[in-house]
Amino acid sequence: MRNHRNMNVPLLLINTDYQDGSPDMVQISANYIDALQDAGAAVACVPSTARERDMAALLEIADGVVLIGGKDYDPGLWGEPRHKTTMLISIRRQIFDLAFARFALEEELPVLGICGGHQLINIVSGGTLYTSIEDQVDGALTHWPKEMSSPVYHPVTIDRTGSLFTGFEKDTLQTNSFHHQSIKKLGNGLRVTATAPDGVIEGIEKDDSPVFGVQWHPEKDKEDTVSKHLFTRFVDICRFQEKRKSS
């Protein structure tokens, strides 16, 4: 079985959330896994308790990485105070995520960051975030729903010359919105590939490697044609990476 891996099925690593409690829990929404599997990938969840040696070993065999959303990274990471609306992720997850994202970028693997994962790519690339869109972005749209069960939607203009959006038929998408932070200063080597009408950065791409971020949650609308296309496109990029590694 070890020697019979299907070369058309790329192996993607995905980070997980960490919840302090009795007992402490490592967890992830099945929506991420379902969306990636439906797009043709094999998915392995990496617990936020993993050591750096474990990350390195797993990244050696991986064909791509997905960074999920969650609560907020500490604004102290980019030298700003916490806002009254800041909802911090577990410190254990933050330490893991920073190391995992940096290692993935160093390996030049395909990476897809979703919501908080999109912001994480920017942070580890030297960028900063607005800690409150509502208070810090002039003319801001509503990006954070009053009830998590009732998402808000807004249009996003995409750059179809970007690798992730290749093959998309329209320049404007309707996307869900579940965030109150957003990219402020763009990280080194990144470019903008999607924006909301209020100027909030909704998509990024790395200039010299297949690293992408989207601020919305395509896995929450995984039956939507646009969301399916996005995941399929990313898995195709990872499949090419797999074949390049094996050649």
Residue 244 has pLDDT above 70, yes or no: no
User: Residue 241: what pLDDT?
Assistant: 78
Q: What is the pLDDT of residues 160-199, one digit of tens each?
A: 999 999 999 999 999 999 999 999 999 999 999 999 999 9
Domain annotation covers residue 236: yes
| 75 preceded by a cis bond (ω within 30 of 0) | no
Asked if pLDDT for residue 156 goes beyond 50, the answer is yes
Give dist(CA 156, CA 80) in Å, integer. 28
The structure's pTM equals: 0.95
User: In this predicted model, what pLDDT tens digit does every residue of 112-141 receive, in sequence order?
Assistant: 999 999 999 999 999 999 999 999 999 999
CATH at residue 63: 3.40.50.880
**Which band of pLDDT confidence, cut at 50, 70 and 90, is reported for residue 240?**
confident
Whether 3 is covered by a domain: the verdict is: no
- Residue 3: Cβ-neighbour burial (10 angstroms; 0-12, 13-18, 19+): exposed
pLDDT bracket for residue 144 (50, 70, 90): confident
Q: In this structure, is residue 2 part of a structural domain?
A: no
Q: Report pLDDT for 245.
A: 62
What secondary structure does DSSP assign to 33-87, as a single string?
Answer: HHHHHHTT-EEEEE-TT--HHHHHHHHHH-SEEEE---SBPPGGGGT-PPPTT--
What residues make up the domain containing 108?
A: 11-246
CA–CA dist 32, 190 (Å, integer): 24
Give a yes or no: residue 217 inside a domain. Answer: yes
The alpha carbon of residue 203 and the mean position of all alpha carbons in its chain are separated, in whole angstroms, by: 10
Q: What is the DSSP letter of 29?
A: -
Contacts with 141 (C-beta within 8 Å, 6 or more apart), sequence order: 154, 177, 196, 197, 198, 200
**Any domain includes 1:** no
Residue 22 pLDDT level (bands cut at 50, 70, 90): confident
pLDDT band of 80, cuts 50, 70, 90? very high
User: In angstroms, what CA-CA distances link 25 with 15, 48, 49, 66?
Assistant: 13, 10, 10, 20
- Looking at every residue in the chain, the average pLDDT score rounds to 94
Give the percent of the chain with pLDDT over 90: 86
**pLDDT computed for residue 246 by the predictor:** 60
- Is the pLDDT at 5 greater than 80? The verdict is no
pLDDT of 146 reads 79
How many domains is the chain built from?
1
Question: For residue 1, what pLDDT is reported?
Answer: 42
220 occurs within a structural domain = yes
Considering only the C-alpha atoms of the chain, give the largest distance between any 2 of them, rounded to a whole number of Å: 57
Do 212 and 163 contact (CB within 8 A), yes or no? yes
- Asked if the model's pLDDT at residue 108 lies above 60, the reply is yes
Could you tell me if residue 219 is inside a domain?
Answer: yes
* Token pair 């807004």: residue: 154
Q: How far is CA 130 from the centre of its chain?
A: 17
Tell whether 6 is covered by a domain.
Answer: no
